[in-house]
């Protein structure tokens, strides 16, 4: 085998290895942009083809997932434009917000695992804290209205919510770290 073929073979192997290692994270990222699982399969398949076609442009010294997420984001937007007549499709600005949020919260964590940990941590909260979360985030009342109903000031309610959110964050991070 000459050097050129061997380099090409090594490059192909590197692509397959990196894609296989990161496919789960890529699927979670695409899913976090509001697509159903069937659409995720379609988009990830397209993303893999685009990545393969652009593989020569990838610098192995850089972050593979960062590169993959950029391609996935464009492919999701393209997919959504083709599905634009569906009333369940979100606006592009919302998709950008969802993608940015996913990037911040899911660098190497699948959204399913994060959601599982969050649900477990919510269940582990004391009843009063869990009820506070349900009232504030599950209803249509403003913080002022909820605070008034609870006989508290809005400032006191915000402090209580901050404590509960900190507790949830610590719990989720601990569960994620524990595997």
Give residue limits of the domains in the chain. Answer: 3-108, 112-178
Query: Going by CATH, does the domain composed of 112-178 fall within 1.10.10.10?
Result: yes
Q: State how far the Cα of 35 lies from the Cα of 104, in Å rounded to an integer.
A: 19
Q: What are 95-119's pLDDT values in tens digits?
A: 566 666 656 555 545 667 778 888 8
Note whether 3-108 and 112-178 share their fold.
no
pTM of the model: 0.47
Q: Are 18 and 61 in contact (CB under 8 A)?
A: no
Class of the 3-108 domain?
Answer: mainly alpha
CB 68 within 8 A of CB 22: yes
Question: Which residues of the chain carry a pLDDT beneath 50?
Answer: 1-4, 87-89, 108
């Amino acid at each position: 085998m000459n050097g050129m073929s061997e380099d090409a073979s090594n490059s192909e192997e590197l692509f397959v290895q990196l894609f296989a290692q990161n496919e789960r994270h890529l699927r979670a990222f695409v899913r976090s942009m509001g697509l159903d699982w069937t659409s995720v399969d379609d988009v990830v398949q397209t993303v893999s083809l685009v990545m393969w076609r652009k593989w020569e442009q990838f610098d192995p010294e850089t972050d593979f997932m960062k590169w993959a997420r950029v391609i996935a984001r464009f492919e999701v937007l393209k997919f959504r434009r083709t599905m634009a007549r569906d009333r369940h499709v979100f606006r592009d600005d919302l998709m950008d917000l969802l993608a940015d949020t996913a990037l911040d919260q899911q660098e190497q964590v699948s959204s399913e695992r994060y959601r599982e940990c969050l649900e477990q941590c919510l269940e582990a909260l004391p009843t009063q804290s869990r009820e506070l979360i349900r009232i504030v985030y599950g209803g249509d009342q403003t913080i002022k209205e909820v605070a008034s109903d609870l006989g508290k000031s809005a400032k006191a309610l915000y402090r209580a919510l901050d404590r509960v959110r900190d507790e949830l964050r610590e719990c989720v991070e601990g569960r994620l770290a524990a595997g």
